[in-house]
Structure 1
Amino acid sequence: MAANVGKKRLFAAWGLLVGLTMVSIVGGKAETGAMTTLGPLLFALVMVVTTIKAHQILNVYLGLRHSSAAWRAGFGLSIWCLCGILWGIYVLDQWL
């Protein structure tokens, strides 16, 4: 019974990752194939989706949900900071 719950959790996480990848594709305008730049809001959407995907992978597939709250908070904060820094660099590049 416990193995069945684990399989359901993995399948649900996989489904969420696939759905979020589709959001990234549409939000990032990857389906057009054109070399266009995204605005700051669309890039922020892609970064938020990327952050959620990273949390899913860490928690479900790498077992971070079984770790202490400090580890979870540390990884979460580092992922959000990294995506924020990338967004800032992107906006700065567009502005300059």
Structure 2
Amino acid sequence: MAAADHANVTFEVDEIDQRSRSGWSVLVRGLAEEITGAHRAELVERTTATGVTPWAPGEHGHWIRLIPQDIGGRRIVPGQLLPASGDAAYP
């Protein structure tokens, strides 16, 4: 957590449908900042009110917000991917 606070970070989320060989990818670059009680009360309340729950086990006492500096993405459509070359081509 300490290394990420006020650091330039990249966050990526993507999805691929192996059957249709289609999908999408979004990449956000920006400044990471831990949300704490020192932030405006409205921001802290809005963040905790999202109802988002982590899927990974363990301690979850921290929120990091990403202040975007650059957002990019792409859609993967059939016919634009190279043919699969084996079982490991699209895990």
- Where on the TM-score scale, by shorter chain, does this alignment land: which range? under 0.3
Q: Which has the larger radius of gyration?
A: 2
Higher RCO structure, 1 or 2 (CA under 8 Å, sep 6+): 2
TM-score by length of 2: 0.23
Which protein has the bigger strand share?
A: 2
Q: Which is richer in helix?
A: 1
